[in-house]
Amino acid sequence: MSKEYPLNRLGPVLWEIPMSAHPAMRVPGHIYCREELLDAIRHDRALEQLINVASLPGIQRAAIVMPDAHEGYGFPIGGVAATRWPDGFISPGGIGYDINCGVRLLLTPLVFRDVENRVEAFSKDLYSSVPSGTGKGGDVLLNLNEMNAVLRQGAAWAVSHQLGEPEDLEFIESNGCLANADPEKVSEQAKRRGLDQLGTIGSGNHFVEMDRISAIFNDQAAAAFGLSQDQIVILIHTGSRGLGHQVATDYLRLMVNVMDQYGFKPRDRELAGVPFNAPEGQSYFNAMAAAANFAWCNREIISHKIRQSLQRVFNLNPGHVKLLYDVAHNIAKIEDHPVAGVPTKLIVHRKGATRAFGPGHLDIPEKYRAIGQPVLIPGSMGTSSFVLAGAPNSMDSAFGSTCHGAGRKLSRTAAKKQVGGPELKEALRKEGIYIQAGSFGGIAEEAPLAYKDVDLVVDTVHEAGLAIKVARLKPLAVIKG
């Protein structure tokens, strides 16, 4: 149980830990959550970690957690922290080890009746063609020169190697490539970890899922996004794999070693950071961008494999499978947001938080600009996932951000004590959900009961005006590591 911290209610779904809660706080902590979720957020160390983040040099306005927040290691998961550009701190812990872990949604022209008798066949085909699990490599094998090209080009590398669709690039956050990526700033160890990992999911909470759209909440937004009732869509959740983990490990170690030179002694070493404009800060930012590009290339190649699988099982032309959008939820970006009413350039850390730019923002593809940026919120494997659209208040209040998932509430051990993998697989099967996974233990750890109620999470951000609800997705087949 976490310590009790004073909470002021600022609105129906917004709470504040005032700066008076701890002498080190430079800004207040803001917590977006409906009252029903408050106990879940208070039960672990998430709020203690939020206070630590609120104490970072250069932090602006407020340290924020979303309704899916839970305890992390250093920074809370589900958090947003913006620091002053160019001399505010950048911290690898504020992005996380899985750099550019993110989500993308593929749209098919199929509807439920087209697939209902072949869902299991599709799940097996997909499981055999998209490697999942730890330590399992894929069939795209790079040498170090090719790796450098991937790190520079991101998703475009996949397209130029006939492993992706050219029209996808417009619909990826930052078009699937951060221009400041510098492969020279990525260690050889990190590159070696990634040589056989393109086109692989990994394990943990990563997955590929076939979903059916079970509800439309906003007809205008759904039409703009190309979503309709009963449509079959494919949700992908993975990141930069071992390459990204190694980049984060390398730079955290570096920053632990040098932060003293910048007069920084955080309460938790996992918060280690340096000024963004310090040489180490710039090197990390450029290495992080390279890892982010690797993740976008990875999700593009996984999409290619899914398109092939859809063709094999449903005779679907790969060109008819369109990308709705691809968003990162572990990343740092330089963005303009208001501080004291003045547009200000900031270093926005999102760790388990999704960019959710509101209508009209020029970084949103023109096709969706009037509606808002598509936001993809994966739920747990037996519940719902959601498509949202970024809303104006995210820009005013949350540095253009919203939640990223349901958010865990039970430890992996506790989940395994409450439910067995075989029983859960069978129970989900009876609900019409086919699970293909590497181990029963892995299924149990990711059981729906281990997560918060995703409906409450999404309702919170909808009520807060951070993102509006567009559609609900119900899983039919889930591929996990």
Partner 1 sequence: MPYSFYPHTADIRLKVTGSTRGEVFGLAVQAMADLIKEGFCKKDKPDFSREERLELKSIDGTSLLVDFLSEVLTLSHIRKTIFCDVIFDTLAETELKAILRGKATDQFDKDIKAVTYHEAELKKSENGQWESILVFDI
What amino acid positions are annotated as catalytic residues? Answer: 404
| Residue 175 touches partner 1, criterion: CB under 8 A | no
Residue 81 contacts residue 336 (beta carbons within 8 Å): no
Amino acid at 317: N
- Count Cα neighbours of 313 within 13 Å in the Cβ-side half-sphere: 23
| Residue 408 touches partner 1, criterion: CB under 8 A | yes
Residue 13 contacts residue 393 (beta carbons within 8 Å): no
Q: Which of 362, 314, 369 is nearest to 335 (CA)?
A: 362
| Residue 409 touches partner 1, criterion: CB under 8 A | yes
Q: What angle do CA 138, 284, 277 make, to 5 degrees?
A: 160
Q: Which residues contact 9 (CB under 8 A, 6 or more apart)?
A: 15, 16
Q: In the bound complex, what is the minimum distance in angstroms from residue 231's beta carbon to partner 1?
A: 32
| Residue 213 touches partner 1, criterion: CB under 8 A | no
Site for partner 1 in 21-50 (CB under 8 A): 44, 46
| Residue 267 touches partner 1, criterion: CB under 8 A | no
Q: Which of 324, 439, 429 is nearest to 377 (CA)?
A: 324
CA distance 279 to 328: 25
| Residue 469 touches partner 1, criterion: CB under 8 A | no
Q: In the bound complex, what is the minimum distance in angstroms from residue 109's beta carbon to partner 1?
A: 35
* Interface with partner 1 (CB under 8 A), residue from 128, 160, 189, 261: 189
Name which of 78 and 390 has its Cβ closer to partner 1.
78
Element (H, E) at 101: none
What is the torsional sign of CA 333, 346, 336, 392? positive
| Residue 134 touches partner 1, criterion: CB under 8 A | yes
Q: Which residues contact 390 (CB under 8 A, 6 or more apart)?
A: 355, 356, 357, 358, 359, 361, 364, 372, 373, 374, 375, 400, 402, 466, 467
CA distance 388 to 385: 10
DSSP 27: S
| Residue 199 touches partner 1, criterion: CB under 8 A | no
* Interface with partner 1 (CB under 8 A), residue from 219, 414, 426, 429: 414
Q: In the bound complex, what is the minimum distance in angstroms from residue 458's beta carbon to partner 1?
A: 19
Stretch that binds partner 1, among 111-119, 154-162, 264-272, 281-289 (CB under 8 A): 264-272
Q: In the bound complex, what is the minimum distance in angstroms from residue 82's beta carbon to partner 1?
A: 22
| Residue 261 touches partner 1, criterion: CB under 8 A | no
Four-point Cα dihedral 154, 159, 165, 168, nearest 10: 20
| Residue 272 touches partner 1, criterion: CB under 8 A | yes
Name which of 73 and 314 has its Cβ closer to partner 1.
73
Helix, strand, or coil (residue 189): helix
Element (H, E) at 362: none
Name which of 408 and 425 has its Cβ closer to partner 1.
408
CA distance 352 to 416: 24
| Residue 269 touches partner 1, criterion: CB under 8 A | yes
CA distance 92 to 98: 10
CA distance 445 to 464: 31
Name which of 29 and 194 has its Cβ closer to partner 1.
194
Helix, strand, or coil (residue 380): coil
* Interface with partner 1 (CB under 8 A), residue from 412, 427, 459, 463: 412
Name which of 109 and 441 has its Cβ closer to partner 1.
441
| Residue 136 touches partner 1, criterion: CB under 8 A | yes
- Count Cα neighbours of 139 within 13 Å in the Cβ-side half-sphere: 8
Residue 127 contacts residue 268 (beta carbons within 8 Å): no
* Interface with partner 1 (CB under 8 A), residue from 252, 321, 328, 375: 252
| Residue 11 touches partner 1, criterion: CB under 8 A | no
Site for partner 1 in 279-338 (CB under 8 A): none
Stretch that binds partner 1, among 166-174, 320-328, 392-400, 411-419 (CB under 8 A): 411-419
Q: In the bound complex, what is the minimum distance in angstroms from residue 123's beta carbon to partner 1?
A: 20
| Residue 246 touches partner 1, criterion: CB under 8 A | yes
Site for partner 1 in 68-127 (CB under 8 A): 70-74, 77, 96-98
| Residue 441 touches partner 1, criterion: CB under 8 A | yes
Structure tokens at 241: 């794999």
* Interface with partner 1 (CB under 8 A), residue from 154, 176, 204, 475: 204
Q: In the bound complex, what is the minimum distance in angstroms from residue 79's beta carbon to partner 1?
A: 13
Q: Which of 472, 173, 106 is nearest to 326 (CA)?
A: 173
* Interface with partner 1 (CB under 8 A), residue from 214, 228, 249, 277: 249
| Residue 439 touches partner 1, criterion: CB under 8 A | yes
Name which of 129 and 277 has its Cβ closer to partner 1.
129
Name which of 193 and 337 has its Cβ closer to partner 1.
193
User: Is the backbone peptide bond immediately before 392 cis, with ω within 30 degrees of 0?
Assistant: no
List residues near partner 1 by CB under 8 A.
44, 46, 70-74, 77, 96-98, 133-136, 189, 192-193, 202-204, 242, 245-246, 248-249, 252-253, 256-257, 268-270, 272, 408-414, 438-439, 441-442, 481
